[in-house]
Amino acid sequence: MTELIYYMPPASDSSPGRVASKVWHHLYEARDDLEMDLLLLSDDPDISRQHPDIAIETSQAKDHVGDGLFYFPVSPVLGPGAAFRRLRELHRCGARLVSDYHGDLREDMYNHYKNRDLGLFLYTVPSALMAGKVLNWHEYLVLHSRYLENIVRDRYDLKASTVVVPNGIDEAVLDQDHHHIDLEGDLTIGFHGRLSYEKGLDLLIGAVASMPEGVRDRVHLHMTGRGPMEGSLRRTASRHGIEDQVHFPGFVPMEEVYAIIGSADLMMYPSRFDNFPVSVLEAFGLAKGPVLFSDRMGIIEFTGPALEENMFPLSVEAIREAILKVLDGTMDVGTKVEEQRSCARGFTWDKVIGEYITFLNGLQ
């Protein structure tokens, strides 16, 4: 029987790191449905010790090349990290490789440049330049939207096969009763995620600043998270004269994030580039009002016609009009919230893992 050797990277608070952990947990729980022997490979001894019955030593990985399919749930970023070292070693041995590709490495490089993060920009340059070659080490790449799949196929001479599997959300997050908080402002607009160029938050600030007098003063933005653009966003708000209406709660525990999502009148995600953001899925499941997002995301492929009006073209003007549409009562908020929550329920991990298993069983 073919072996599925799942590489678990060291623990990480990043979104891809959390996804890697979720996929492993649910694959392990549903391993009886796998038509392969599930094994665990990790450079983190603490992770290996949690599953002594199926964990293999890193020194033994090459012994499994003949019978094994090696699955890396993280993007292949060049560098001294353990995941890339292991990937390169196995490629040189002729191993069958599958990796998740959470976003495009060239997009990452450009965004680090726009974020003025010189260290990360220089770190990602080799990955961006070598992306096509490294992606073609793989038998398959797992992507989370056709939007990203089309970008990758157009940008690289891709010989690897691709499959699209959506992201997931914990059912427990949707089932729990989360507390609500009083947010400052007559109309409160929330966001949670990384405060970085690709998230388009400067455009959101500009949209609020361009609203008609009498409306603009009622709107307050609550941007939860940290990131390299926080200082720039504060200056942008100040330049527009709305610095008292833009709030930065910072990095807060997830329960506090969920409380903000459930308390804001409207959630906005004006990304310049995004794949299938878990943040939007979380907002679908928890928000008390509409969740609006830009047309630069792959998530719209999965939401269906009911949520098409939640999407707006990426511009200051379109963001402003989307907010005003909610304000003037054009959108049926109660129905919209029901549609959003129904959508989120379709992407709980117990459902999404079935798509992973179907894909993997086809690779024996």
Q: Which amino acid is located at 182 in the chain?
A: D
Q: Distance between CA atoms of 73 and 16, rounded to whole angstroms?
A: 8
Per-residue pLDDT tens over the stretch 273-291: 999 999 999 999 999 999 9
Q: So what's the pLDDT on residue 98?
A: 97
Give the CA radius of gyration of the chain.
Answer: 21
pLDDT higher than 90, residue 13: no
User: How sure is the predictor about 121, in pLDDT bands with cuts at 50, 70 and 90?
Assistant: very high
Q: Distance between CA atoms of 298 and 167, rounded to whole angstroms?
A: 11
Residues 21/87/46/143 CA torsion (nearest 10 deg): 0
- Note whether 148 and 104 are within 8 A (CB): yes
Per-residue pLDDT tens over the stretch 91-112: 999 999 999 999 999 999 999 9
DSSP 256-276: HHHHHHHH-SEEEE--SSBSS
The Cα-based distances of 206 to 62, 99, 202, 216, 325 in angstroms read: 54, 38, 6, 11, 17
Q: Is 314 helix (H, G, I), strand (E, B) or coil?
A: coil
Bridging pattern class, strands 37-42 and 96-100: unpaired
pLDDT higher than 90, residue 54: yes
Residue 297: closest CA among 306, 285, 286, 310: 310
Give the rounded percent of residues in the chain with a pLDDT score beyond 90.
79
Q: Go through the domains of the chain in sequence order and give each one's CATH number.
A: 3-168+349-361 (3.40.50.2000), 171-345 (3.40.50.2000)
Mean per-residue pLDDT for 179-189?
93
The residue assigned the tokens 């096969």 is: 161
pLDDT higher than 80, residue 79: no
Mean per-residue pLDDT for 347-361?
95
Give the side-chain half-sphere CA count within 13 A for 171.
9
pLDDT higher than 90, residue 18: no
Furthest C-alpha separation in the chain = 70
β-pair partners for 33: none
User: Would the pTM count as exceeding 0.85?
Assistant: yes
Q: Distance between CA atoms of 221 and 231, rounded to whole angstroms?
A: 15
Per-residue pLDDT tens over the stretch 238-287: 999 999 999 999 999 999 999 999 999 999 999 999 999 999 999 999 99
The residue assigned the tokens 């009083």 is: 182
Tokens representing 305 are 């016609």
Strand order in the sheet with 219-224: 246-250, 219-224, 187-192, 266-269, 291-294, 311-312
